[in-house]
Amino acid sequence: MTITEADVRAAINIPEASELSAVAIASAITRAASYITVLQYRYSAPAEFFPTAESAFAIFLAYQAYADRVLNVVPGSYEEGKWSPIAEEIVRATGDKLAGLRQVADDLIGIIKSYPTKPTGTFHHSTPATAKFSIGQFDYPSDNDY
């Protein structure tokens, strides 16, 4: 499952590119994918968890970009040194929504991190096929034990 710009826009209810650029959303999606990929290689959580966590994190990052932008610039123009707005200022209370999206992403990432880490290192050809490697409290059998 790959999250799209349209998915992010629908989740945060910001359909207008003038409010949140496609570039900001693409950046959020890329950053979320990178982070969740690292978690996927590090933790042994079931594969089904990762796409959901990636989506939630991308949505949070995109909304964070939206919440950070300056919204005090009303569309309009200067005429003889006087500002003439052509539309009303868009104002949204972003704090609670941003905190909620952050909590969802943190909860999902926390679930992934609650699983044991995968073993690191490499097996060499000289390692006996029956060898077991113990890391912390978890035993990782060799491939022949399955």
Query: How many whole angstroms separate alpha carbon 58 and alpha carbon 39?
Result: 15
Q: DSSP for 80-100, please give it.
A: TTEEEESSPPP----HHHHHH
Taking the CA atoms of 56, 11, 94 and 96 in sequence, report the sign of the dihedral they define.
negative
Per-domain residue ranges of the chain: 5-115
Q: pLDDT tens digit string along 67-79?
A: 887 555 566 777 7
CB distance 89 to 74 below 8 Å? yes
Q: pLDDT tens digit string along 31-51?
A: 999 999 999 999 999 999 999
